[in-house]
Each structure stands twice: as structure tokens, then as C-alpha cells.
Structure 1
């Protein structure tokens, strides 16, 4: 599949970028000195205004370029593409990184997703997920926002060798793959329509899956995304068994971060989610599909699949 030009540039580390060390609007904004335009608000003021005001988040098209800067021009001509020196400075500033995570958690809540553990990128459904998922699918510009968010989290993640890597704010590289795989699980569990041929499905296949810099991780996630096509039967209805749902997502999380005794307490929340998951078998085929949609709880491979996830997660993506 031919990737969109912006995803190709992202994967290639923006080889055509001509850095300008005099441009520092993003750095000034994230350090609380500059203001977002239009609106003339500093970052904390902007977040205070946007948080829990979903009508404002939906209708305001100028904030996303400031909260999630990338080395690309956006629709807000008053914003500035991220410069390499800005990315380095932001990723080494604990307060700036805290603001980035606050921005990310705000957008997750807007999409109906809650952060269970930010240090590991573990996600769960918010209480209002049904309404928020429906809103996501009916307002396609929010799909583009997810692409920007995935890129920005990757670009602004502190490198493992940086002094900031030992700070309580960890690497952000856990988050992009976790978000993609969480959304894929919602699709396979019949809560979020990411079917091939839909706008959202195209975003998943062509944009989101490409916003991972590690080649092996990108291939593995891509295989899982491709696997959902095997469930599409006649007339676009779903058949067959789920290959990656919430249960597999949380098994992957456990495999990715489990194994160390000091981490057991932090992973208790995953056990709670797994043991407390409500039984869901939508009689109407869930958010999409039909009577032959196959239900939301069937799994293919059981323990064998879970074991494979654990092995891959530990050897490839830690």
C-alpha cells in the first residue's frame, strides 16, 4: 500500500526539512511564555478553557497545531511547524512534558477514552464512550487530529539516552501503538466502526498505522489491522472470529510491562479491568455489522494467541 506523502515524510524523519533555529513559537508556547494564535491564550489558559468543553474542542480548529506540534504545516496559518531544536528542548523539559500529557489526556477524554496508567499508556473506555465514539465517526476531521497526535507524541518523546529519560515522566513511545491497538480492539469488539472502505477505516490503515517509527512494531500492528479484513463477509457484514479485542489488548499490556516484581502493583489495574469486564454480545451486531456480525466475545487461538502476544511484546517493543 502506497503511504500518504506526510506519513512517508514522518517515517523518514522529515529529510526535506530545512531547520530554522530562529523559529521558536512552539517552544515558547509549551514553556508558558508564548501564546496560541488565534485566541492569544497561554497553554495553561487554553487547556483550562478546552477541558470538558467538548463543543469548544469540536468547533475550534486552531488549537490542535499548538498542543500537538509537528514539522508540518497545518490548517492554522498562525501556528508554526515544529523545529528540531524545539522538539529537543520540549522533550527535556519536565513541565512541558506534563503539559503535553495533559493535552493528550484531554483529547482522549474527548474521544471517549480514559487513561488508566500514563506511564505505560494503558487505556480504557470512558463512561460516555458510546456517544463519543459516535461523535468521532460523524466528524471526520477528528480522525486527522488523531494522526497529528500520534506523530507529535513520537517526535516529542525523550530519547532513551537523554538525561530526561530517568525522570518520572517516561518515554512517550508507549502511547502511539497503545492508542492504535486500543482503537482496533474497539472495532473488533463491535463498538467502533473501522471497517475497510470507510473513512475511519482508511485512517487506521493508511495513516495511523504508519505513525510508528519502529519498523517491526509497525509491521506487527499492520498485520493485526489487515487481519480485520478477513472478517468482512457478503454485503460488508462481519463474520468469523475476533483476532484482537480488549482481552488481547490487556494481555499485550501485561506482556509489555510485566515480569518485574516492582511492576506488579502498577499492573493490578490491568487485572481489575480484565476481571471486571462486562459481558458484551450485542444482539444488533454492535455499532455496525448485522445479525451475522459474529458477536463481540469470540476469540481465535485463546492461550496460544496470548502467548504469542507476550513473546512479541517482550522481545520487540520494550
Structure 2
């Protein structure tokens, strides 16, 4: 199956795309110095007032491009595509990184999940996960949002979080038959699983998904051990399979 065009651009680090050194909206927003539009809010205000405001998070479509900027234009024409010089500056600012983490946790809660370990990317169910999982399945535009979230996290040096989310969903599908619709699986298999620039991890995840789709169980123990292995060795793949 050929990769979608946007995924090919992402994996190539947007080869040929020029940087606009005058474009600073994403950097200033994450420095808490610029209000997003059209909501006219600082990033700190969103984190404070929107957590568990599920109606806002579901039906407001302008904020996601501010919370998770990528090097692609989106539907909010008041948001700016991420620039390479912004990526460099944002990755060097610990306060910005903490705010990106907080944005990720905000959306995880919206999807019925919680971040259990930032270092490994381990994700678990939130307290109210049943209702959030139902909304997840009933509002497939969230599949597109997750692709954006993954691309942004990769840009910001937090790609391990993508694997944590993705493999949590695979475990839920495989072991509990949760989050297991054809539409969600399609988004997961074609887009989410390819939002990793680490080729070895991407290959391992693709193979693991294929095994699960063919009926092999991917249980919680396997999920947790794969993330721990990546933390310790730098790779999701088992040592004996690292060069396969």
C-alpha cells in the first residue's frame, strides 16, 4: 500500500520547503506571548480552562492547529504553518516543551486516556474512558487531529509519545475489542503508524500491527515491555530482530 502524500512529505522532513524567518506565531504562542485566533486565548488559558471541557474540544475546530503546529497549512487560516527555525527554538525552551506535553495530555484526556510515564510514552485509560471512547468512534474527524498531533510531537523531539499512543490503541483493539472500527483502523494503519521518522520503529510497529490484524494477540505486557525496551535500548524491536 502506497503512503499518503502528506506522510511522504512528513517522512522527507518536507524536503524543498523553505523557511520564513519572519514567521513567529507558533513560537510566540508557545512562549505564552501571543493569543491564538479566533479564540483569542493564551496557551496557558487553554490549558487551564479547557481541560475536561469536552464540548469545546470536540466542536471547536480552530485550536488544534495552534496546539499542534506542523509544516502544513490547515483549515484555520488564522494559524501559521510551523517553520523550521521555530522548531529549533521551541525544542531548546524547556517551558515550551512542558506546554506541548500539557497540550498532549489535554487531548489524551479528551480521547479517554492518560499519560502514565512521559519517559516511555506509556498510556492508560482515563477514569471516564467509556464515554470518551464512544465519542472517539463517533467523531472520525479526530483521526485527522491525531495525525497532526503525531507529526507535531515528532517535530518537537517527542516521537516516542506517538508509539505510546499508537500501541495503546492496538492493545485495546487486540485484547479488549475497544476502538476497533474499520475507519479507525484505516487511519491507524495508513497514517498514524507511519508518523514515525525512526525507520526501525516504524517497521517494527507496522509488523506488529500486521500480526494483530491477522489475529495474533498484542497484550498489555507486550505493550509495556516494548516501550521500556525503547527507553533502554533506543529501539522498539527485540534485540534478536533489530537487524531483521
Coarse TM-score class (shorter-chain normalised): over 0.9
**Inter-partner Cα distance in structure 2 for 1:46 and 1:127:** 22
- 1:256-295 matched pairs, under 5 angstroms: 256-257=230-231
Contact map agreement 2:114 2:126 (CA 8 A) in 1: yes
- 1:155-170 matched pairs, under 5 angstroms: 155-157=155-157
- When the two chains are superposed, the root-mean-square deviation of aligned CA atoms in Å is 1.9
SS at match of 1:189: helix
- 1:42-81 matched pairs, under 5 angstroms: 42-81=42-81
**Inter-partner Cα distance in structure 2 for 1:131 and 1:249:** 24
**Inter-partner Cα distance in structure 2 for 1:311 and 1:122:** 20
**Inter-partner Cα distance in structure 2 for 1:37 and 1:210:** 30
Q: Does 1:229 pair with 2:213?
A: yes
- Give ranges in structure 1 of 5+ residues lacking alignment: 158-171, 232-240, 260-307
SS at match of 1:52: coil
| Greater CA drift, 218-227 or 93-102 | 218-227
User: What is residue 189 of structure 2 aligned with on the other side?
Assistant: 205
SS at match of 2:52: coil
User: What is residue 224 of structure 2 aligned with on the other side?
Assistant: 250
Q: 1:312 to 1:18 in 2, by over 3 A?
A: farther
SS at match of 2:214: helix
Q: Moved runs in structure 1, 4+ residues, more than 6 A?
A: none
Contact map agreement 1:130 1:191 (CA 8 A) in 2: no
Higher relative contact order (CA 8 A, sep 6+): 2
Cα offset, 1:49, TM superposition: 2.3
Contact map agreement 2:201 2:237 (CA 8 A) in 1: no
Give the structure with the larger helix fraction.
2
- Give ranges in structure 2 of 5+ residues lacking alignment: none
Contact map agreement 2:123 2:164 (CA 8 A) in 1: yes
Larger radius of gyration: 1
